[in-house]
């Protein structure tokens, strides 16, 4: 390289010097009213205010309407049918199908949900187009519509096929009553295997209702013992008419008052 022919460095006044940086001040959006605003603190403050309103409303709702409670869990009650909250009903319904329950329980509990949620997580990486319209992003839109449709269908199926009457009875809190186990009526209950379904304390279990505070007359109870009702088949009572009368009067007198 000859002298005078070398490389020259020319400064650019458009690039600010490193030691003269401008402070991090939010831009002035007054030129674009109604279109955009600063995230901090304008937008974030509005989000917090809306969240506070919903939180206060939710707290007022929990105070005005007490949550429904069930009786204390009994590990020995094998007839109890658990039911999750509404947002897990679709997974609960999935475990009812043949190839997602029993010996294939791992398929319904881990593999299928794992594939579904994994596909949703991968959707933004598989479809990285700049378009914002759903019609221009078929892969991400298809995954989302399929997930929503499956969740809605399984939730609806779970609600439509569940035995809500049995569920209401199995978790009902029943007041404790001092039961005379030496009474003739109680012995008739044991002799006809009534306690195997309704429990030794006659508080019910699973789909079987409690025999306390039934609100039924002795005649109505005798008719049920003869002809059955709900899950109870007819002909469960095997005694005489006199014994049936004693049993019916005993159950009718079981009140928590």
Residues contributing to the annotated binding site:
194, 197-198
Under 8 Å between Cβ of 162 and 203 = no
Which two three-digit tokens encode residue 78? 């094998």
Range 6-12, long-range pairs (CB < 8 A, 24+ positions): none
- CA-CA distance, 173 to 157, in Å (whole number)? 28
Closest CA relative to residue 70, chosen from 154, 167, 142: 167
| Phi, psi for residue 17 in degrees, rounded to 5 | -65, 150
Q: Return binding residues for heme c.
A: 194, 197-198
């Amino acid at each position: 390289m000859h002298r005078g022919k070398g490389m020259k460095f020319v400064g650019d006044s458009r690039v600010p010097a490193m030691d003269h940086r401008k402070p991090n001040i939010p831009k002035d959006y007054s030129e674009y009213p109604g279109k955009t605003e600063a995230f901090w603190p304008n937008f974030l403050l509005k989000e917090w205010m809306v969240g506070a309103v919903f939180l206060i409303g939710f707290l007022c709702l929990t105070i005005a309407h007490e949550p429904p409670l069930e009786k204390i869990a009994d590990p020995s009650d094998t007839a109890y049918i658990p039911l999750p909250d509404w947002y897990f009903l679709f997974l609960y319904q999935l475990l009812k199908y043949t190839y997602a329950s029993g010996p294939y329980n791992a398929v319904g509990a881990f593999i299928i949900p794992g594939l579904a949620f994994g596909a949703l997580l991968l959707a933004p990486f598989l479809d990285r187009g700049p378009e914002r319209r759903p019609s221009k992003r078929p892969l991400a839109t298809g995954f989302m519509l399929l997930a929503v449709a499956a969740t809605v269908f399984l939730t609806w199926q779970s609600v439509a096929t569940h035995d809500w009457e049995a569920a209401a009875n199995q978790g009902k809190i029943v007041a404790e009553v001092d039961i005379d186990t030496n009474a003739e009526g109680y012995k008739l209950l044991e002799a006809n295997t009534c306690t195997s379904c309704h429990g030794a304390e006659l508080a019910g279990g699973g789909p079987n209702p409690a025999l306390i505070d039934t609100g039924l007359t002795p005649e109505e109870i005798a008719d049920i013992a003869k002809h059955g009702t709900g899950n109870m088949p007819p002909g469960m009572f095997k005694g005489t008419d006199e014994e049936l009368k004693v049993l019916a009067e005993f159950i009718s007198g079981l009140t928590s008052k």
